[in-house]
Amino acid sequence: MPTIDFCSMQGRVAVVTGAARGIGRAIAEKLAYLGADVVIADMLVELAEKTADEIGQLTQRKTLAVGVNVTDGKSASEMIDRTTNQFGRVDILVNNAGITRDMLILRMEEADWDAVLDVNLKGVFNCSKAAIRPMMRQRYGRIVNISSVSGQAGQAGQTNYSASKAGIIGFTKALAREVASRQITVNAVAPGFIPTTLTNDLSEDLKKSILGATPAGRMGKPEEIAAAVAFLASEEAAYITGQVLAVDGGMAMM
């Protein structure tokens, strides 16, 4: 029986949203190291171009930077069109783009609720809808959505963020049922607390509280999230769909 390298991405094309920095960049870099050509999709176009160049040089894979506003369906469709025009297909979509607007609900403005739901949840809908059509034609696809421990267990001061990430879990399970017969899998990764630009503003007291609630006793690393995403995006995960993989040091233990 022929063998291939574990989690090989040779011949695959991956689109990662919010990939200019942080967890998204780590995911894009991991997929490229495994052999995929990668689209770095982000609103920060100049940084996306820089990231694409750096990942291309590091991994010797083809990369493409695409500016995208995931809250806009037309922009999401154009992102997938540019991908298929450049590479001929799209095999993997990682819906990573996300924002926070943390505030206790009594002080939260409606605009802060709308912004977080638009990016974090509507963005997953827009990008998935755009990618599903070429995936269905080629009868192959991997969609991995980035949820959060906050979407599993909730987090005070994050009703908007927790709701958006919980919504991603429901979306993941529903879409997985719709497209499974076309050899398309849809799964989610739920990170714990990872040091990124989204967590830079956390108070020291909250960081201590988080560490106290994490059996592993530390925050995670972007590379650890990337490894989980790479597995779910691989051939080896072909019989896994509609699942949520927590990478949180034991914080949620659902």
Residues taking part in catalysis: 161
* Opening angle at CA 225, ends 219 and 228, nearest 5: 135
Q: Are 214 and 192 in contact (CB under 8 A)?
A: yes
Residue 156 CA to residue 158 CA, distance in Å, equals 5
Name, in order, each residue with C-beta under 8 angstroms of 43's C-beta and a sequence gap of 6 or more: 67, 68, 69, 97
Residue 157 CA to residue 96 CA, distance in Å, equals 21
Q: Are 68 and 123 in contact (CB under 8 A)?
A: no
Residue 152 CA to residue 144 CA, distance in Å, equals 16
Nearest to 159, CA basis, from 119, 114, 220, 126: 114
